[in-house]
Structure 1
């Protein structure tokens, strides 16, 4: 327990928050919170709720170093309203969730099957007050991993990730009903590795899946490339496009913009460092690249999340080794609608910090989640900043 208090003290001093002894600021426009224990905990997604609070999903480990899905509801300053853990006695991870109008939540991720060490898709429905309504796993004798989920127009959900059913990995898309019944599933890919890490609604009434492919390579590309795959509402492929160069380029996040799509990930082909954040903006046609740019320093950067702001600009969240205080720090950048860098900011201590997901809040600021790590301990982070990426 002592190392947890030490970690809290170091982080709160370095990150510059005016805090009380629970690690929060009094002003809801800016605060930092840490959640977790003495083991490996991580936040993967956060959204603002109708009451001005926040909903966060991730994973939390126990003394046996086994993880459970973790869903946390807070008020506007990060105080815990309720929390639930989901899963069985082996490792279970929540990577995403979909928030309904009635504030119920569909949490999606991956579970490890007892006795076989195989992984399946795992989904759970939780009420707006934290009651678990149902929990189900989906898959086959192969390994399935779910990385993202969105709600569908019929009240169901679309889960995206990958499976090893055919090639090394194939993209996996699963449609379930509002009550958790499996309606259909499809796989996409070639003979090499193909994975989806994000999904959004398309401008054509279907979906765009985004991730990484080693199977589909265009002239001038090699190794792994970012892959955007467009399918209709029934999962039938419509189009695909790859982005990248002669080295590995990995896709992490997609956001449907007012006039197209913006994609974020990590590039080894372009930029100044070992790896850099790579951002691609297209029109509603995923082949029509309006601009693509790399951002970072001389070391390594990753772009894990992207959102279009209310003013049309874009914010990307990830991590950096080039800037900041520690081995990794949270790295946030704001870009204009033409991809020009407007602002950048790092957050961190002498340990390792990263952001997995970011969204804009109703006051024009931002909230993001990820983890902070010292030695063998990592804790879930929840950080709220203002529109200028500042903490007060």
Structure 2
């Protein structure tokens, strides 16, 4: 958001892999805008959605940008009471699904509408019993159906799954867990059309993780937390075959948290990022976690750095969660859940109005970026052996910091002689000698080179000469001298 003292607009900021600004633009809409979502579309453009918080009158906004950040169309979404934008998502055919809360009483119901790629309304459906019912995420299946992740409140807040056809017809609704107050956050798409549902278990300091098959039948489910503080996860992505979940950690005020796990549910590590004050993340924004080319990006807000809570906190890590500073390792705990599926029906009859909205792009040059961690790229590596014999192999491990995304290895005397893997394995040395190893790393902008001269020493096969044959009798002794230059004898 960009606040000029009179209006709060939304802004787009594009940066490179090193954190330098490439592009920035402000988009003015009358009133005060609170953007929640940015979604990359199949045509290379973007969908932006959020709330007008000026209450004049209250409404949501949706803006479609092309890949050069030019406005293609923009829409105002209105209701007779307050709306709270919860999700926007594009299906494989380019249709757009938009979910929002509507405040009928002090409590909320929710509405989902489907638009075509040009922003024309195709259908809408609403649910709720006027008792804090919310929509959070959507999964698109290969058979055309969509699965909606929501919650409904009866005696407690229950996880609700709604299966719908592409035409907006309800196939079924199920309530899955009723033993705690559950507030769903997101769906992570996994291989084989499986998914992971990420759900806040209110009051426990933990997050419910539920893996489902392609029919949304549970495969496994558990509560994940930390013995050092609250761990509430709210966004997830699959990178490099591993699940990354982002949220907040409450052991040091509030920090950003990042958890890495396998698709089978085994937790590899959990880390927290922040300073002495509070770092937060927007619970509704699915785009606050992204990644690619060996890096993970997290977006939140910070009170520890910059000028206060209105500052954006951007953290870039490698796939091991290493950012370079202001991070700690935290422990993880696991606990079972009670699964009790029940069919449900909470359909309602609320209707949204969709109309055109004027958006005026403006120049933006007031953004400043402060680097908290030194971004100097430093190449380094290690190996499982340095002194070997002929025909032995060596495995190399990259230790470069902070976040390289490409590696070029050169192995003098080795086979293969080069590699672009991060951690080359089984480099064979067939000839004796002393050989250099050179590594060049890049973070996409900068390069650094490290040469370790004579790093690998390959020893020849040992030849033993005992001299002329000798005869000796039982009880005689003989002394064998292997000469100098050897460390062990057998």
Of the three residues 112, 115, 128, the one matched with 1:126 is: 115
* Aligned counterpart, 1:264: 246
Between the aligned partners of 1:170 and 1:254, the Cα distance in structure 2 is: 21
Instruction: Tell me if the contact between 2:109 and 2:132 (Cα under 8 Å) persists in the aligned partners.
Output: yes
* Aligned counterpart, 1:368: none
Q: TM-score, normalised by structure 1?
A: 0.72
Going from structure 1 to structure 2, the CA distance change for 1:11 and 1:210 (only over 3 Å counts) comes to closer
* Aligned counterpart, 2:61: 70
* Aligned counterpart, 2:294: 312
Larger radius of gyration: 2
Going from structure 1 to structure 2, the CA distance change for 1:183 and 1:267 (only over 3 Å counts) comes to same
1:202 aligns with 2:194: no
* Aligned counterpart, 2:36: 44
Between the aligned partners of 1:86 and 1:71, the Cα distance in structure 2 is: 8
* Aligned counterpart, 2:473: none
Going from structure 1 to structure 2, the CA distance change for 1:53 and 1:314 (only over 3 Å counts) comes to same
Instruction: Tell me if the contact between 1:108 and 1:124 (Cα under 8 Å) persists in the aligned partners.
Output: yes
Displacement of 1:339 in angstroms is 1.2
1:296 aligns with 2:274: yes
1:279 aligns with 2:272: no
Displacement of 1:260 in angstroms is 2.5
* Aligned counterpart, 2:24: 31
What whole-Å deviation, never above 9, does each CA across 1:235-286 have from its counterpart, x for those lacking one?
Answer: 32221233322433212101123313111100113xxx31111110001112
What whole-Å deviation, never above 9, does each CA across 1:59-96 have from its counterpart, x for those lacking one?
Answer: 22454452x23211123343322111234211223221
User: What runs of 5+ residues in structure 1 fail to find an aligned partner?
Assistant: 18-27, 216-222, 351-363, 365-385
1:330 aligns with 2:312: yes
What whole-Å deviation, never above 9, does each CA across 1:174-201 have from its counterpart, x for those lacking one?
Answer: 2221111122222233433211111122
Between the aligned partners of 1:174 and 1:11, the Cα distance in structure 2 is: 32
* Aligned counterpart, 1:244: 225
Which structure is richer in relative contact order (CA contacts within 8 A, separation 6 or more)?
A: 1
* Aligned counterpart, 1:253: 235
Displacement of 1:334 in angstroms is 1.0
Between the aligned partners of 1:276 and 1:121, the Cα distance in structure 2 is: 30
1:164 aligns with 2:157: no
Query: Between Structure 1 and Structure 2, how many residues are aligned?
Result: 323
**Secondary structure at the residue paired with 2:118?**
coil
User: What runs of 5+ residues in structure 2 fail to find an aligned partner?
Assistant: 15-20, 327-364, 369-404, 406-442, 446-490
Between the aligned partners of 1:10 and 1:199, the Cα distance in structure 2 is: 29
Between the aligned partners of 1:243 and 1:37, the Cα distance in structure 2 is: 43
Of the three residues 81, 88, 94, the one matched with 1:90 is: 81
Instruction: Tell me if the contact between 1:202 and 1:230 (Cα under 8 Å) persists in the aligned partners.
Output: no
What whole-Å deviation, never above 9, does each CA across 1:208-239 have from its counterpart, x for those lacking one?
Answer: 11021148xxxxxxx32122111223332221
Instruction: Tell me if the contact between 1:268 and 1:274 (Cα under 8 Å) persists in the aligned partners.
Output: yes
